[in-house]
Structure 1
Amino acid sequence: MSAPAKPPPQIKLGTSRFFDPHVDDRLITEEGEQILDEIRRHWVTRLWPGSQVVLGMIAFGVMPQLGHLWWLGLVLGVGLGVRGFWGMHVEFMDRFVVTNLRVFRVNGVIDQNFASMPLSRVLDIAMQRPFWGQIFGYAEFVFESAAQDQGLREIHFVGAPDARLHLFQRVVISAGLTGRVQADIASGD
């Protein structure tokens, strides 16, 4: 007598995908895939959108001084505010995930992009830390693999770069030729 078949994974519909990238839904739980690190973009990526929101608030503040042209302040304030909040949300939705089987990236709000690469295909990881990255604590990672046309070649604005580089190297070395890592090895236990 065979075991009953597992039901297929549930697909979530609705607007929640516009507000959260749902990284956990993309795991292959049947294979025992576990998240080792979920990397959000560094806070410095929100400085420009945040400054646009502040400029929009200033535009609202000067509306009384504009007299009969008050609507210019309104239009400018709404435009800058919407653009700034949208920019912050786009940065929030960009996630890079390291699991015990693969690395993948999810980004985008209206059109979501997903790129994945098994750990066994990662040949080399390079870290580039620009001047401002040294000041604010972020770096860019460049993944070299057998297939160069994947969406995971460059990951920008990675916070805590030294610890993350160490994790990547440990995971890739542990994966070896099998492409699988035991979760306790990757977590340092």
Structure 2
Amino acid sequence: MGLLTSWGDPKISRHLLREEGEVIVDEVRHHWVAYLRPCLEGLLAVAALVAVPFVHVDIGWVFLLIAAVLGARAAWGILRERRDRFVITNMRVFRVHGVLSTHLATMPLSRILDISVVRPLHGRLLGFGHFCFESAAQEQGLRDIRYVGRPDERDLAIQRVVQRSGLRGPRVVN
């Protein structure tokens, strides 16, 4: 297993209540658009490194320093995005994120009052959106989930899980 793979995996399975019958319905990783900034910083770091032989020796260290800082920022950004996961289970939704320390925010399905799906113009063109969860609580750790790929499908998945759990009352068929 590679270093990025092992560090980039937040190990979702250890947060599940297996003995209670909790299963993953969907595990949402960030859309590729979320990686654009770190990748651009990485390209700038490579450009600064390539420029070192072409500048005067006295200022070459500045380009090396710029390349190191941009490279570190790019690696950190990619790792941060890889470790940020939003998980839909048959009992709750939760988000795990963080690189050095891990933050876990959980919301039972019964507390979800409303889900807003925000799809900006560039999100509609590129296939991503943002979730905004509303609940009865004033402050919560699980409010905005950004850069969700196929947000309409994922919204329907959450609605199906809530409906199957019987939290919204019986279905009325006309």
* TM-score, L = length of structure 1: 0.82
The runs of at least 4 consecutive aligned structure 1 residues that moved more than 4 Å come to none
Indicate the residue corresponding to 1:76 in structure 2: 66
Indicate the residue corresponding to 2:29 in structure 1: 40
* TM-score, L = length of structure 2: 0.89
Equivalent of residue 15 in structure 2, options 12, 15, 26: 26
Residue identity opposite 1:25 in structure 2: R
Question: How many matched pairs?
Answer: 163
**Alpha-carbon offset, residue 41 of structure 1:** 1.0
Is 1:61 aligned to 2:59, yes or no? no
**Alpha-carbon offset, residue 148 of structure 1:** 3.4
> Distance in 1 between the 2:6 and 2:108 partners?
25
> Distance in 2 between the 1:105 and 1:59 partners?
36
Q: Which runs of 5+ in 1 are unaligned?
A: 1-15, 179-189
Tell me how large the CA RMSD over aligned residues is.
1.6
> Distance in 1 between the 2:157 and 2:68 partners?
43
SS in 2 for 1:96: strand
Equivalent of residue 108 in structure 1, options 95, 98, 106: 98
Residue identity opposite 1:93 in structure 2: R
Q: Which runs of 5+ in 2 are unaligned?
A: 169-174
> Distance in 2 between the 1:30 and 1:54 partners?
46
Indicate the residue corresponding to 1:136 in structure 2: 126
SS in 1 for 2:55: helix
